[in-house]
Amino acid sequence: MLNGQHLIAGEWVTGEGELRSSPATGPSHTFSSGTAQIANQAADAAAEAFKVFGVSSRSERATLLRTIAAELEKNSGEIVELASGESGLPVGRIQGELGRTTGQLRLFADHIEDGDYLDRRVANALPEREPLPRPELRTMMRPLGPVAVFGASNFPLAFSTAGGDTAAALAAGCPVVVKSHPAHPGTGELVAQAVLAAMRETGTHLGTFSFLQDAGHTVATSLVQHPAIKAVGFTGSLTAGRILFDLCAARAEPIPFFGELGSINPCFVLPTALATGATRIGAEWAASLTLGAGQFCTSPGVMFVVDGDGADSFIESTLAALGQVDKQTMLTDAIASTFRTGAERLAGTDGVHRRFGEQSFQRSVTPYLFETDGETWNRHAELAEEVFGPLGIVVRTRSFDELLACAQSLSGQLTATLHFEQADDEAALQLLPVLEHKAGRLLANGFPTGVEVDPAMVHGGPYPAATNPAATSVGTLAIRRFLRPVCYQNLPQRLLPADLQDA
């Protein structure tokens, strides 16, 4: 059952304001909205917990992560039903996302038990070395400290309360304060209840995890400015993320802000691939573009093609596939409104032509397809701004050289995709070095929707896709965001961390 409160150090507390949920289906609920005082209490509790949790064993943290996963599965029916109602996402999609969430938790449990993430390095002492002796040096990764995590609108489970950022931070030994997304406050609370049950069952310090709600910006601002918070994990809009990023940098002690902010995930169809597979590629693009109402950070929003007969067939195939897509429900009224505004902006741009899509109202929308040329694309930088939802742009270029220039003009992306045949290898080899500097993940003959949770995955990229191009928010490498190397010089074995002592 929902209590509509904040969780701080194992206690449910009430704030002064009110947050009212706006579900796609089902009843609305009222939740307490946080204050600066509540945010400060949660951060202080995390700081106190870090004294214990930050030096806990890997096995203890692994047990906590697996227990959280088990608690989520124990309450899966209620969680899935509420998450689907709040978000408008199908039950099957939410069930899959719950499996991804529990899988992430168990993946990090296995990862820290393995111990390789500690990156332990030892340089033995060389007392006889000339001209100067060398001391003994031992280095390994240690937790940063309390982390603030912001839930994402489009993933009520996998990128939210107990999602990837939370799992990585807890695995690292960092207490977490979650600021829930207002799009799914009830889902967030149910997950927080599961985390609390897991902390109690495993005897974890109850300040290790706190959960806060807010109808405005007070909690977010207070958290990123609190001196106890040592890092922030964020998935959301470029506008909101940049504000928080700047606040983190402006602190007396600046802290890392790991934000995923936006990406159009460009795809490039090279000439032979376009000539031989235009119809298939067009239909597959439409399916990827409209998956989940286009509300994926990896939605492939732009397709670059060299003009010709293949381009016509590609667009006709895309249009035919889009014509089979029913209206789709978006996550919130605000997201749907922003989507419509973005479509209207494109429709009003000189040189951009709307090929598909009609005006929609409230949270139900139709997909949009726009067409333009390479010259117009390079002239209007705003065309490269993400429109979150089922909207695509086809850019017809006059030549491969113009297509290459379009690629060079791109800002940072989460993904970039090449569609090619062997006869296109020479062109692909020219594009790949450009795209390698633009994106965190390069794909061949596929589409980027669907992010595998795997040790080899990179979900990040240069700004504005992410605020730290050296980081990923998916896969076991994500734990590195919340760790720092510490070197111990000439420290006796008995005083070293257990993981750094000789076996």
CB count within 10 Å of CB 216 equals 12
Nearest C-alpha neighbor of 435 from the set 457, 466, 403, 467? 403
In whole angstroms, how far apart are CA 29 and each of 20, 185, 231, 240? 6, 9, 31, 25
Torsional sign, CA 58, 474, 38, 70:
negative
Phi, psi of 201 (to 5 degrees): -65, -35
Pick the closest to residue 446 from 201, 268, 196 (CA basis): 268
Half-sphere exposure of 280 (CA within 13 A, CB side): 10
Distance CA 235, CA 262 (A): 9
Cα–Cα distance, 481 to 143 (Å, whole number): 9
- Token couple for 224: 């990123």
The residues that are catalytic are 260, 297
DSSP assignment of 304-366, as one string? EEESSHHHHHHHHHHHHHHTTPPPEE-S-HHHHHHHHHHHHHHHTSTT-EEEE-----TTEE-
SS3 457: coil
- Rounded Cα distance between 174 and 52, Å, is 10
